[in-house]
Structure 1
Amino acid sequence: MRHTALTGLLLASSVLGSASLAAAETTLTIESWRNDDLSIWQDKLIPAFEKQHPDIKVVFSPSAPPEYNAALNAKLDAGSAGDLITCRPFDASLELFNKGKLADLTSLPGMENFSDVAKAAWSTDDGSKTFCVPMASVIHGFIYNKAAFEELGLKVPTTREEFFAVLDKIKEDGNYIPMAMGTKDLWEAATMGYQNIGPNYWKGEEGRKALIAGEQKLTDEPWVAPFEELAKWKPYLGDGFEAQSYPDSQNLFTLGRAAIYPAGSWEIAPFRAQIGDSFEMGAFPPPVEKAGDKCYISDHTDIGMGLNAASKNADAAKTFLTWVASPEFANIYANALPGFFSLAKTPVEMEDPLAQEFVSWRDKCASTIRSTYQILSRGTPNLENETWVKSANVINGTETPQQAAEELQKGLASWYEPQKK
C-alpha cells in the first residue's frame, strides 16, 4: 500500500513537472515576406537559437511577397499577427510604429552593434527611436554569364559607352538575349532599372537628400537622365519583353539564354540553387559616364525585424531579437543567404565569391538607398509605385523620359510641401 502511494506520488510529481515544463515553453511566430528563406530559417537560424534557448520555440511563417503588407496589416488590426514582424525599410514600418503596432526597441540589448546609418531605415525621422533590428542590405548591379562573355570575347564594362558596346556585340552575335528584364510586373523596371543605374546620375545621397529637401526636382537632369538611359535598353531586352514577368526574366538567365541580368545581390542564393555548375556568374556595378568618375551604388537597407506591440510573449521575443542583433546571427544569415549583407558594425567574412564581388563595391563606390523609400512615398500618388509605372512606360516607349519625369514631379508636388515651391 505504501509502495502504491509512493508510486502515485512520484507519477503525480512527474506529470506536474512535465506540465510546468510545457507551460514554461514559449512559442514565437515570425511574420515575413521572404518565403524563399523558409528552409534557411528552419534548418540553420532557428536551430542555432533554440540550442541556446531550449525554452523558446520559433516558427517562421512567411506570406507571398506581394501580399505581405496587406496581410500583415490585416493580422495586426485583427490581433492575430505573430510575435515578431519582419520589417520593410522606412515608411511602411514607420507607419506601423506610429500606429502603435510595433514596439520601441531603442534600448534593446544588441542595438549598440549597429550604426545610426544602419538603424535609419527603422528609426523615427529625428532618429530618437528605433523599432526594428537591422538585418541586411542588398546591393544593385548587373549579374552576367561568364561563359557567354568568354565565348564572345567580351570584357566587363566600366563605362556606359563600353556597356552599350557589349550589348551591341551580344545582340549582333544572336545566340543570347543581351539583357533579361521584362516590364510586365512594373516594379522590375524600376528596381532593376531606374534605381539600379540612377545613383550614378543623381550622385547617391547628395541627390536623394536634395530631392527630400526640395532643392532638386524630378524634372532636373540628374533625375531625367536615368529614364533616357532606360529608353535605350529596349532593343536589348528580347522579343516580347513587355509581357515578360519577373520569374520569366530569372528563368531566361538561369537557363543560359540571356547574357546579362540587371538586378542585384538578392538573386545570388536562388540563382546558385537553379544554375548549379551549368555556368559561372560574375557581377559588375552600374557603369559610370567616363573612366575615373566617382561611382555610386544602391546599397539598400532591405530587411529588419521588430516586435509586435501586442505580443503576449514580449520577453521571449526580445530575447530572440537580441540574438538577431548578435554577430553570431549576422554570420549565419549572411552566409546562408549570400547577397543579403549584414548591417552590423562587426565585419562578416562571406564565403560566396559572387557575394564577395558585390560587397567589394562598397570599398570603391559611395553607397545610397533607393530614392523613393524615405519620406517621398508617404502621400498619394505614391512615388515608389508611380516610379514603377513610369519606368516600364519609358522602356516600352509609351512615354518619353521627360513626360515620365514631369508626371512624377506633378504627383509629388501635389502633396509634398518642399516640392511645391
Structure 2
Amino acid sequence: MPATEANTDAVHTPERLTLSASAIEITREICDIESVSGNERRLADAIEATLADAAHLEVIRHGNCVVARTDLGRAQRVIIAGHIDTVPVNGNLPTRFETIDGHEYLWGRGTVDMKAGVAVQLKLAAELSEPRVDVTWMWYDNEEVSSDLNGLGLLAADRPDLFEGDFAILGEPSNGQVEGGCNGTLRFELRTRGVRAHSARAWVGDNAIHKLGAVLELLAAYTPREVEVEGLVYREGLNAIGISGGVAGNVIPDEAMVHINYRFAPSSSVAEAIAYMEELFAGYEILIVDASEGARPGLDATIARNFVAAVGAEPRPKYGWTDVARFSALGIPAVNFGPGNPLKAHADDERVATAQIIDGERALRAWLSGN
C-alpha cells in the first residue's frame, strides 16, 4: 500500500484538554475547537480522551455525547449537563480577550452559549473525586438544531438508566443566576389561499398575500402574556419569523404563508398552546411544524432550594426553551445555571465576562463539595 494511503487509514489520536488550567483557559481551548452543530466529533473525542484516565469516573460514549459519572454510593445523584455544539461561526474564531469598561471578556463563538459552562463542568468533573452527591456529567451534541437530532434526547431514548437523578443543572448562560424551568415553544405555518390571475386583470383573481394583512396586524398588536408559575413570572411571545408567497412578476398569487413562533409559559401544555393558537387564528389554515413542552421551575424540591441558597442566587424565569424541559418531563427538577449573558448568545460579538466563569466555578465547586 502506498505511504499516502497508509497515512489516511492511520488510527486517529484524539487531542487532550488541559483541565489543570483555569476554567477561563479551558473555555478558550474548547471554543477554539470549532464544533458547529454536526461537527462535534473532534471536541467529543477530546473530552472522552481527557477524562478516560480519571479513576473516579465511569466514562460512556454515545454518538458524540460523552457521559462521566461517579458511583460513590451517595444518598442523592445530581445530573449536570451542557451542550458542546454552537451555531455557525461568523468571523468570531479564534477567541481573544477584550477589556471593556475595565472588565475582562473572552470574545468568540461559543463563549456564552455555552462552552464557558461546559469548561466549568469539565474542570470540576476532573478535580472533584469525592463530591457530597453522586454526579452524572453529560456533554452532548446537536442542541442548536432540530429536536430530533438532539444528543441529550437520543441518549435518554437509548439509555434511560443514565437519567436517574434527584436534581439536574443545565449550564446554559444565565448571568451566573439560577433560572428555573423554561417556556415551551411552538412553530406553525399559517396559509392563506386565493385564485391565480394575470396581474393586469387582478379583479378576476384573489390575492392570497393580501389576505395575510389581517394576520400581520394581529401579530404586531399582540401583547405578550405574563404568567406566574410557582412564584416566577414567564413572559410569552408571539412573532412572525418568516413569510413566503408569490408566483411570478405578473401573476396574482393563489397561496401565501407566514411562519409563526409562539413561546408559551410552562403552565400550559403543547396541546393547550395549539388550542390557543387555533382560537386566536380561527378560520385560518394552520400546520404545526415543531413543538416542545416547557418546564415548570422545579424549585420546590429541597435539593433545588438548597442549591439556590448555596450559590446565593435569586431565582428567575427562563424565557427561552432549554433542555431542562427534557429533565422535567422525566420527573427530575432542573434549573439553568451558567456564566454568560443570554443576550450575547449567537451574537457576532458573543463574549463572556471572565469574572462570571470564575464565580460560576467557585459556586458550583462549593455546593458539590459541601464547603
Please tell me the TM-score bracket, short chain as reference.
Answer: under 0.3
TM-score where L is the length of structure 1: 0.23
Structure with bigger helix share is 1
Structure with bigger strand share is 2
